[in-house]
Structure 1
Amino acid sequence: SNNSGNSNNSGNSNNSGNSNNSGNSNNSGNSDSNNNGRTKNILLIGNTHFYFHSLATHIRAIQSYCILYLLEKLKNEYKKKYLQNVYVILCGDFNTNFDSEVFSFFEGKNINSNSDLWLDSKLFKEEYQNLDKYPNILDLKKNNNNNNNNNNNNNNNNDNNNNSNNNNNNNNNKTKKQFDDNTSDVSKDIESNVTNGPFLNRKQFLPLYSAYKKGDITYTNWNNNFIEVLDYIFVSPEFKIKKKLKGLNKNEFNKYKGLVSPIHPSDHLPIAVEIEL
C-alpha cells in the first residue's frame, strides 16, 4: 500500500496487489494527525495466485473460501481495534473464468454440496493415482535409447529390424489400450456416482465485486490455443470504479500464438483500475 498523502481518497489498484490510497490508510491502520490521532478508513489489500490445473476447480473453490475467511477475520480484528470502517481490495491470478462457480462465489453466490465442480475431485484424484501406470519421461528416454541401439545393431539385418518395429508397435498399442481402458473406467465411475463436497456459504463473509465485468476485457492469458480472462480485482461494494485499463489487441500477438513474445515478456496481461471511496 502506497500512501500518496493527497487530501482525497481515490486510489489505483492493480493485480500485483499495489494500491495507492490518498486517504492515508492501509492494513496497518495509519493515523491522521488532523483527526486527533484517530485512524481513518482501514484498507486491506490481498494478492493471490490460485492453483492452475484444469481438473482442480474444487481446489480453487476451497482456496476462495480460505482467503475470504482470512479477510473476514482480519476485517473484524481491525474494526474492533480501530472502530473504523474496513474496506478490501483483492487482486490476483485466480485461474478461473467469468463463467465459473469460483468467480460467482466471490461475487456472492454459494457453492452447493452437489455442485458439478466437486466431480473434478474424483477426476483429479484418479489422474494422479494412475500416473504410475503410464510411461514416465525416464522410461520413454530409456526405450528410445534401446530402440536406437537396436537399430544400430541390426542395420544389416532387415528381418530383425522388422521384428523390432513390430514389437515397438505392439508395445505402443498396448500402452494406448491401457490408457483408453483406464480413462473409460474413470468416466463410467463418474457417470454412475454423484460426488458431494462441502457446502460453501458465501453469505458469512464480506461482500466483494469484480472491477472487471465480462466483456470489459477479452483475455488476460494467452498460451497457444488457451485464451481466457484469469486475472481479477475484487473490491468492497463501497468502492466506485472510475477507470479500467483496457486489454491489448489480439491481432498484435497472432503471429506469436500467445502473449510471451519479443513485445511482451509474460503470459498474462496486467490489469488495473482507478477506484474512489
Structure 2
Amino acid sequence: MSKLNLNASAQIRAYYTGKCDFRVTIPLKVDNEISDTQITVFSDITDPLSIFIKKIQKKILDHMGKNVKENKNNGTENCITKTDDELALRLSEIPVSFIRHAVDAKKYKPGMILNQLIENITKHNHEVYVQLFEEKYKIMVNAPLVHNIQLPSAIFVNFGVEPVKFHPLFTNMKESKFFWYKSIDKKQWIKVGDTIQYDVKENDLNHYLKFYCKLYSLNMLHILELESISENPVDTLPPFPSCPFEKRHCLTTRELSRKRFRVVSYNILADRYVGNNQFEYCPPHVLNIHYRKHLTIKELKGYKADIIVLQEVDNQYYSSYYKNEFNEMGYKSFYNRKGNCIPEGLLTAFKRDRYRLLEFKHIVFTRELERRKEFSHICQMLDNNSEVKKEFKAQNTSLQVTVLMDQSTKNVTIIGNTHLYYHPNADHIRLIQAFMATTFLNKIKQRLLREHKNVAVIFCGDFNSHFEKSLYGFMTQGTIDPQHNDCLKISPSGDAVIYHKFFLKSASGTPKYTNYTDDYKGCLDYIFIETNKLKVTQNVPVTSPEELEKYEGLPNEYFPSDHLALVVDLEMN
C-alpha cells in the first residue's frame, strides 16, 4: 500500500430508510499497478461494526481481483460466509478498524452498533477514523453529496439556465452559495450571477458559462465545492417551427364556461429519462429540457384548459419554471415527487378564477397499503402471495387527488392523477395499483356526497397499459374475471377479487397512439370519467397516425414529449 495524505476522509451517509453507505478512496495495487479506487459499502445502521468491517474487507478483496465466494443478502449486498475458512483467512489479511482520535488509536469494539458510531460523530462531536492497512481516514457523516453536475448542451439567450440532473443530498440549500461566470476562451472568467438559476443575457451570446457552487452540509460542518463549464457557447434559440399540435389548437380557441370544462392529461417526459442514447433520432438541442419545456408550455397554452394534469414533471424544473408559468397563466398548481423520493412526479393545475380547492391529497400506494382500512382486502390478498407483494411494494407509484368546486355551478369534481408502473410484464401490478386508486377515490366521493349534491370523478394519467390489456377492461367494466391470467398471478387459487364501484369510460377514447417512440408505439394514456355523471362534448383528436408515422419517434423538433396530450371537453349531467 502507498501512503495517502492523513487529511483524506471517508464518508458515511445515513438515510431515513435505516440504510447507510460508506465511501472511501484508497490506493490499491492491482496487477502490479497502484491506482486510487473508491470503495462503496451499503449496510443497515443496525449492523454491528464486525459485519460492517467484513463488508469493507470483502469490497477491497473484490477490487483486488481475488475470487471471493459470495451469497446474496436481501438481493443487494453480499454477505460473508463465516464458515468459509479460506475467505476468513483472506479477510484477516486486510486490517480494518474504527478508532477514536488519530493519536491514541483507541479501537471501537466490534459489537458496537453502526448507528451508535454515527451518533458519536453527529451528537457527541467525536473525531472518528477508519484505519485501512496503515492509513487513517477521518470519517465525515452526511457530507453533501452530488451524483451529477453538468450544464445543458444548449444554452439560449433570454432563457433561464441551471445545472441539469443536479440533485444535492444532505445539503443546506439556503446557506449554500452559487455563482455564474462567462468567458469567450474559457481562460478569463467574468462573474455574471449569484443564484442557482441564471437568466442568460443578450451580451452572453457566444460566451461559455461556468457554474460554481459551494454546498454546505445540513449541520454546516462540511463543504463540497463543484463547478461545471458549458460544452457549447451560448446561442440564440431559433423560432419554434409550426407544430402539428397547433392544428389541435384550432378546436380549443375559446375558454369554456358554465357547466362545460376542459381537461388535459399529458406525460411531458422527465429530463432524467432522456439519457443513455434513448432518443438517438432526436437532435441534442431539441432533446434539451430548455427547448422542450418552452415548447410544452406553448402547447399547453393553446388548449385553454380549465384543469391540467401532468406526469413526469421534473422536480427541479417545477420549482424553477413550471410553477411560475402556470401562475402567470392563471392556474393554481400542486406538485408531488413520485413516491415522495424520485425527482420527477405528478402535477395538477386548475383555473384559480373558476374553482375553489376543497381538498388535496397525495398518497404513495405502498406506504398506505397497511395504514388504511379501505385497503384491508387488498392487503389480505397480497399477504397470500409474498412474491407479488414484494414486487408491488418495490414500486414508488403515487396518486394525486384534487377536489374542486366550480364557483358558479357548485358542482364538485374529484381529479385523480397517476402514473402506473411501467414494466411491460407487470399488468398484474398495475391492476392492484388501479384497484387501490379507485378504492381511494370512491371513499372520498362517498364522504363528499354527504355535503354536496353533484360529485363526479375523473381519473387521468399514464396507465402504461394498452386498451387490449386487463387494466382497461377492469376500468371500464368495474371488475375482472378471477380466472384472468393477471389475476392468477396475484392469486394462483383464482380468488383475486378486484373491482370498483364506478361506471367509467375513456373520455379520450382509445387512439392508436398516445406514446410513440422507436421502442414502443401504442395507447397508454387515458382520461376516465363517470358516465352517469359526466358526458363528453368534445374529444380533441390526438395527432393522426398518418402524421406521426412520418417520424421515427417522439420527441422531436415538433413534439416536446414521447407522449401526446389528451384533451377533452366535459359537461356535468
Q: Quick check: 1:112 aligned with 2:481?
A: yes
| Cα distance change, pair 6–95 in 1 and its aligned pair in 2 (3 A) | closer
Contact 2:475 2:505 in 1 (8 A): yes
Structure 1 position 26, deviation (Å): 5.2
**Alignment-mate amino acid for residue 246 of structure 1:** P
Q: For residue 201 of structure 1, what is the amino acid of its counterpart? A: Y
2:528 counterpart of 1:234: yes
Tell me the CA shift for residue 120 of structure 1. 5.3
**1:206 shift after superposition:** 2.6
Q: Give 1:48's aligned amino acid.
A: T
1:220 aligns to 2:514 (yes or no): yes
Selected match of 2:568 from 258, 273, 276: 273
Q: Secondary structure at the match of 1:90?
A: strand
Q: Which residue of 1 aligns with 2:503?
A: 207
1:98 correspondence with 2:348: no
| Structure 2 CA distance for aligned equivalents of residues 270 and 31 of structure 1 | 24
Query: Judging changes above 3 Å, is the alpha-carbon distance between structure 1 residues 24 and 110 closer, same or farther for their aligned structure 2 residues?
Result: same
Partner residue, 1:125: none
- Structure with bigger strand share is 2
Identify the residue that residue 418 of structure 2 maps to in structure 1.
48
CA distance in 1, matches of 2:555, 2:452: 47
1:235 and 1:19, CA in 2 relative to 1: closer, same or farther beyond 3 A?
farther
* Distance in 2 between residues matched to 1:107 and 1:270, nearest whole Å: 21
Instruction: Kindly indicate which of the two structures has a greater share of residues assigned to helix.
Output: 1
Contact 2:507 2:526 in 1 (8 A): yes
Q: CA deviation at 1:118?
A: 3.5
CA RMSD of aligned residues (A): 3.0
Report if aligned partners of 1:57, 1:120 keep a CA contact under 8 Å in 2: no
Change (3 A) 1:54 1:6: closer
Whichever residue aligns with residue 114 of structure 1, its letter is Q
Cα distance between partner residues in 2 of 1:263 and 1:7: 31
Match of 2:543 among 248, 251, 274: 248
Aligned pair 1:13/2:255, yes or no? Answer: no
> In the alignment, which residue of structure 1 is the partner of 2:94?
none
Secondary structure in 1 matching 2:449: helix
Looking at structure 2, the residues matched to 223 and 112 of structure 1 have their Cα atoms a distance apart, in angstroms, of 33
Q: Quick one: distance in 1 between partners of 2:469 and 2:257?
A: 40
Deviation at 1:57, TM superposition (A): 0.4
Listed one character per residue, the Cα deviations across residues 249-276 of structure 1 (whole Å, up to 9, x for unaligned) are 3444445421121221211000110111
Tell me the SS of whatever aligns to 1:8: coil
- Contact 1:57–1:117 at 8 Å: present in 2 too? yes
Distance of 2:427 and 2:416 partners within structure 1:
21
> 1:85–1:255: structure 2 CA closer, same or farther, 3 Å change rule?
closer
Q: Does 2:431 match 1:61?
A: yes
Whole-Å separation in 1 of the counterparts to 2:405 and 2:478: 34
Q: Quick one: which of 421, 433, 440 aligns to 1:70?
A: 440
Deviation, structure 1 residue 207: 2.3
Work out the CA distance in 2 between the residues paired with 1:266 and 1:90.
21
Shift in Å, 1:19:
5.5
Looking at structure 2, the residues matched to 261 and 72 of structure 1 have their Cα atoms a distance apart, in angstroms, of: 39
TM (norm. structure 2) is 0.31
- Measure the CA separation in 2 of the matches of 1:212 and 1:247: 9
Distance 1:106 1:19, change over 3 A: farther
Q: Structure 1 length normalisation: TM-score?
A: 0.60
1:196 aligns with 2:491: no
Q: Are 1:258 and 2:553 an aligned pair?
A: yes
- Provide the C-alpha distance between the structure 2 equivalents of 1:259 and 1:7, rounded to a whole number of angstroms: 34
Cα pair 2:412 2:452 within 8 Å, conserved = no
Larger radius of gyration: 2
Distance 1:30 1:200, change over 3 A: closer
The one-letter code sitting in structure 1 at the alignment partner of 2:436 is C
**Contact 1:26–1:44 (8 Å) recurs in 2:** no
What are the ranges of 5 or more consecutive residues in structure 2 without an aligned counterpart? 1-254, 267-308, 310-348, 360-403
Q: Are the counterparts in 2 of residues 55 and 120 from structure 1 also a CA contact under 8 Å?
A: no
1:7–1:254 distance in 2 versus 1, CA, 3 Å: closer
- How far 1:198 moved relative to its partner? 1.3
Report the Cα offset of residue 63 of structure 1.
0.8
1:62 to partner: Cα distance: 0.5
Deviation at 1:109, TM superposition (A): 3.7
Q: Given that residues 515 and 521 in structure 2 are in contact (C-alpha distance below 8 angstroms), is that contact kept between their aligned partners in structure 1? A: yes
- For 2:445 and 2:507, the matched residues in 1 are separated by 20
Q: Secondary structure at the match of 1:15?
A: strand
1:40 is displaced (CA, Å) by 2.4
- Give the Å deviation of 1:24: 4.3
Letter in 2 for 1:101: S
* Cα separation, 2, equivalents of 1:31 and 1:15: 19
The alpha-carbon deviation at position 220 of structure 1 amounts to 0.3
1:142-197 deviation digits (Å, cap 9, x = unpaired): xxxxxxxxxxxxxxxxxxxxxxxxxxxxxxxxxxxxxxxxxxxxxxxxxxxx6636
1:116 counterpart letter in structure 2? N
Q: Secondary structure at the match of 2:432?
A: helix
Give the count of matched residue pairs: 192
Identical residues among aligned pairs (%):
30
Give the distance between the partners of 2:471 and 2:353, measured in 1 at CA. Answer: 32
